[in-house]
Amino acid sequence: MSPVSSAVCRMVLASALALGSLAALSGCGGAQVAPESTFVLLNGSKQSTADMKGKVTLVNFWATSCVTCVAEMPKIISTYDKYKSQGYDTMAVAMSYDPPSYVVNYAETRKLPFNVAIDNTGAVAKAWGDVQLTPTTYLVNKRGEIVKQYVGEPDFAALHQLIEKLLAET
């Protein structure tokens, strides 16, 4: 990288950090590290971003009142079922405005097979780039770096190809 492009990347990175942005900084020598977060799961236990290391993880911000979220959930379940034995995980993060009783009911009646967290304070959504729109989904590699962000329903065929590529990495 030339000294000029290196300086530009440093300015872009500084601006992104100042704005709390999780924008992909392609061409600037590295992926965006997933923010340190603590997820409070429905069973009351906690998981952190650090617990994701070593697995490819889909972090999905959703709400029971979001039509697209509800529509994509069966595809998220089948993706989890397809890859879970290969080192893949899913963390579904319910937005702060979603009533906890609705989230619990949804998770139980749909038998969600992965971790579901409730972001009561909105701190997790804020840390992950101030997520406001649902669904917003991040794919995190084994090193804890955000590889892809989706706003709206992902193209699941393309997502599966990317998951397979990331699972093959050492």
Looking at the structure, tell me whether residues 38 and 109 fall in a common domain.
yes
pLDDT tens digits, residue range 30-84? 679 999 999 999 999 999 999 999 999 999 999 999 999 999 999 999 999 999 9
Give the residue-averaged pLDDT of 75-99: 98
> Among residues 76, 64, 68, which one has the least CA distance to residue 100?
64
Question: In degrees, to the nearest 5, what angle opens at C-alpha 70 toward C-alphas 69 and 75?
Answer: 85
Name beta bridge partners: 145.
33
Q: Which domain holds residue 97?
A: 32-168
pTM as predicted: 0.83
Number of domains in the chain: 2
Looking at the structure, tell me whether residues 135 and 99 fall in a common domain.
yes
Name beta bridge partners: 137.
60, 150
Looking at the structure, tell me whether residues 12 and 37 fall in a common domain.
no
Q: Report how far residue 162's alpha carbon sits from residue 139's, in angstroms, rounded to the nearest whole number.
A: 9
pLDDT tens digits, residue range 116-127? 999 999 999 999
Looking at the structure, tell me whether residues 124 and 145 fall in a common domain.
yes
The alpha carbon torsion through 162, 164, 169, 170 (nearest 10 deg) reads 140
Tokens 């979001």 found at: 66
Q: Report how far residue 133's alpha carbon sits from residue 151's, in angstroms, rounded to the nearest whole number.
A: 7
